[in-house]
Amino acid sequence: MAKLNDNLSGHPDSPDADAPGFAARVPDDFAARVAVRGSVENCRMVDLPRISDPRGNLTFIEGGRHVPFAIERVYYTYDVPGGAERGGHAHRDLAQLIVAMSGSFDVVLKDGRGTVRHHLNRSYRGIFVTPMIWRELDNFSSGSVCMVLASNRYDESDYFRDYADYLRAQGLPG
């Protein structure tokens, strides 16, 4: 099972959210929404903290605070050829935050009832994806890097790779 934390309150070692140059927007109802699986309405865009600096900006992500789970795995895709599509699956229990670290791409989220397309093009913004959401990634710009923070280690048995199987698991005609 994904480790979805209820408490997203501040971490004692984190910078003061009111300090100059710090900005983060985690929706007030984030924790409540992540408990709900399999609905695209509960997948939220999250603005991450930004430390602005003339030497270059800095963003950080803390498990249990900016993402509502302990981060068990990080992976990233890169050197994606033009026109390629990735994803094309859903996860039974895995929760993820997907960030365009460089360049841009689209994340298409489906739950069998609705479809939402998100364009990611900022390294301080991510889309939080709950378990039981079908996702497809496309429209990759040249040189883009897609980083994913995940609530669990890799486990092939957690995947739905067939859309009809996924729909049936959602209680819909496959």
Q: Is 91 a catalytic residue?
A: no
Q: Taking CB under 6 A as the rule, does residue 76 contact ligand TYD?
A: no
Stretch that binds ligand TYD, among 19-27, 47-55, 83-91, 162-170 (CB under 6 A): 83-91
Chain mean position to CA 126 = 6
Helix or strand (DSSP H, E) at 167:
helix 163-169
- 87 belongs to the binding site for ligand TYD (CB under 6 A): yes
Which residues between 122 and 161 bind ligand TYD (CB under 6 A)? Answer: 154
Q: What strands lie across the sheet with 45-47, from one edge to the other?
A: 45-47, 125-129, 96-102, 145-150, 73-77
Q: Tokens 């990759």 identify what position?
A: 140
For ligand TYD, the closer of residues 75 and 143 by Cβ is: 75
Does residue 86 interact with ligand TYD by CB under 6 A? yes
Q: Least distance in Å: CB of 59 to ligand TYD?
A: 22
Q: Where are the beta strands (DSSP E) in 33-124?
A: 45-47, 73-77, 86-91, 96-102, 105-110, 115-120
How many H helices and E strands in the chain?
A: 2, 10
* Paired strand residues for 90: 160
Which of 5, 14, 77, 102 lies at the binding interface for ligand TYD (CB under 6 A)? 77
Among 75, 76, 78, 174, binds ligand TYD (CB under 6 A): 75
Q: By CB under 6 A, name the binding residues for ligand TYD.
A: 73, 75, 77, 86-87, 89, 154
Task: Supply the residues annotated as catalytic.
Answer: 89
